[in-house]
Chain A
Amino acid sequence: MRVTPQGLTEPAFFVLTALAGAPRHGYGIVGEVAELSQGRVRLKIGTLYGVLNRLVAEGMVELDREEVQQGRLRRYYRLTESGGRALAAEATRQAANAQAASERLRSWVAADGARVRVGVGQAPEAPATPWAGTA
């Protein structure tokens, strides 16, 4: 589990982001996190409730309401003001990091024209080989 310098793990960051939209129940959070991360982060239930326990204890998330669905208790959780502030701070930090990296990459590409072919966010071109196109 990756931990950011502020102590917000990547799952915690996504859980807070998922709850920033609306109050959600456990499995709802799992689905929202998968969607937000474009399928890259798929929370296991044990991981989710480890994160939720910590966020609730730290006052970043709180119980919104309880519902009974098909005979089972469903608890909905919501973001607190403190959780919103922590998420905003983390989002600002990540945006600053991304901007710094992008600026450095632009300088790096500009410094060598040959690197332009690689480009930021593009797959490197396949190296030219003597047998290319001869198959």
Chain B
Amino acid sequence: MNRLEERYRTVLRVLPESYRRQWEEDMVSAFLESTATDDPEHADYLADFGRPGLGEVASVLALGTRLRLGIGVARPQSPVWRAAIQVAVLAGLLTHAVFGASDVVVRWWLSAGVSWLPAPPSLWLEVVAPPLVALAWLAAGLAWLAAFVALLFGQRDIARWLAAAAMIPSVVIGTFAGPVDSVELWFGWVFNALLLLGMSAFPARGPRARRVPWLAGLVVGSVATAAIWIFLISAGTPTIPPLDWPTECCAALVVAAVAHLAMPGARRGRYPAATLALALLAAAAFGTRVATLLDYLSHGRFDEVSDVVAVGTVAAVAVLAVGVPLVVIAASALRRLAPTATATVTLHGEGTLT
């Protein structure tokens, strides 16, 4: 090692140790090549008396500062977080889209009837919301559906505007017509705001998510949800059926989590992004379930809500049972990724989402 190399390595000490472990030899090699000269005499002089130029030193100092402050430098966990947030945001939008689409079907059935389906009971015809409010909720559901499709087709900015528009009825109706102490209302606002923020994890345009599985989820979810509601209403269930929408979300999450954890290697953190995404969704499902249960208990008569509270409590416990292992596995996988910057992110072996 000549003096020039020693001096350059001294400069590199401003970089974090973990970074140097990965890049130092490469940087030294590139730097020495950049100082190479065909003149042997000049090369000898540089080897003994040469120093890294001010520009080189400044670039290393700037890199060290950025690395230590985490500014503009991707940490190895970042791709995992980005992929996980993308999946979680799409799943959140899918949930809204499914309820929006099934709402259209159920309202159509309630208002017009469908010849091959049983007629809706008259009680339900009386409890449907006033036309303007119903129309607002319908529009919101369709806007969520459009936002989901836009994001799926790589149009993040359009999706963001549609999602923001979809939130308006909830904010207006919730503020002026809903119970202001509703935990569910506040949780919904926070959840939707996080969805909007989470869209930043997508590129503005361009690389698209894999569409077929998500669109299949939309169709299957919408049909299943509409069928459940039509069955419950036809069966003459009370206004709040035991199987309400937060429990449906919890059930879908538990099924997805169990299927994921059953995959080979998943419990050892082989798919960190998918595990982290499910952990984020478990937190959202648990929060939604608890918020709605608190509302039932504070605003309903216990004999009216006892069934839904019992089923909902079981759903919340089930989400906790799968959520805790998901969080533990995801945290462990992220810790393992920390020392190396060359981690590749895989979602069930299919590469990154986008």
Contact = CB atoms under 8 A, between A and B. Distances in A.
Given A26-B27, A59-B79, A5 B63 contact: no
B59 A25 contact: no
Q: How large is the interface on A (under 10, 10 to 19, 20 to 34, 35 or more residues)?
A: 20 to 34
B156 to A, nearest CB: 11
B29 A74 contact: yes
A70 to B, nearest CB: 9
A6 interface: yes
23 contacts: A6-B204, A26-B27, A26-B30, A26-B33, A30-B34, A45-B30, A45-B56, A46-B27, A46-B58, A46-B61, A47-B59, A47-B63, A49-B23, A49-B26, A53-B341, A54-B74, A57-B79, A58-B74, A72-B25, A73-B25, A85-B206, A85-B207, A86-B203
B345 A25 contact: no
A56 to B, nearest CB: 6
Contacts of B203: 6, 86, 89
Interface of B: 19, 22-23, 25-34, 55-56, 58-63, 66-67, 72-76, 78-79, 203-207, 341-345, 351-352
A25 B351 CA distance: 25
A25 to B, nearest CB: 7
A44 interface: yes
Contacts of B19: 53
A50 interface: yes
A1 interface: yes
A57 B75 contact: yes
Contact of B63 (A27, A49, A74): A49
B292 to A, nearest CB: 38
Contacts of A9: 72
A6 B19 CA distance: 25
Contacts of B78: 57-58
Given A3-B72, A9-B72, A50-B62, 5 more contacts: A1-B72, A26-B26, A50-B73, A58-B78, A72-B32
B35 to A, nearest CB: 10
Interface in A28-87: 30, 44-50, 52-54, 56-59, 62-63, 72-75, 81-82, 85-86
A59 B345 contact: yes
Nearest to B34: A27
B337 to A, nearest CB: 10
B205 to A, nearest CB: 7
Nearest to B32: A72
Nearest to A29: B30
A46 B56 contact: yes
Contact of B73 (A27, A53, A85): A53
Contacts of B343: 57
A78 to B, nearest CB: 13
Contact of B79 (A3, A5, A52, A58): A58
Given A74-B29, A75-B26, A44 B55 contact: yes
A59 B352 contact: yes
B342 A63 contact: yes
Contacts of A45: 27, 30-31, 34, 56, 59-60
Contacts of A56: 341-342
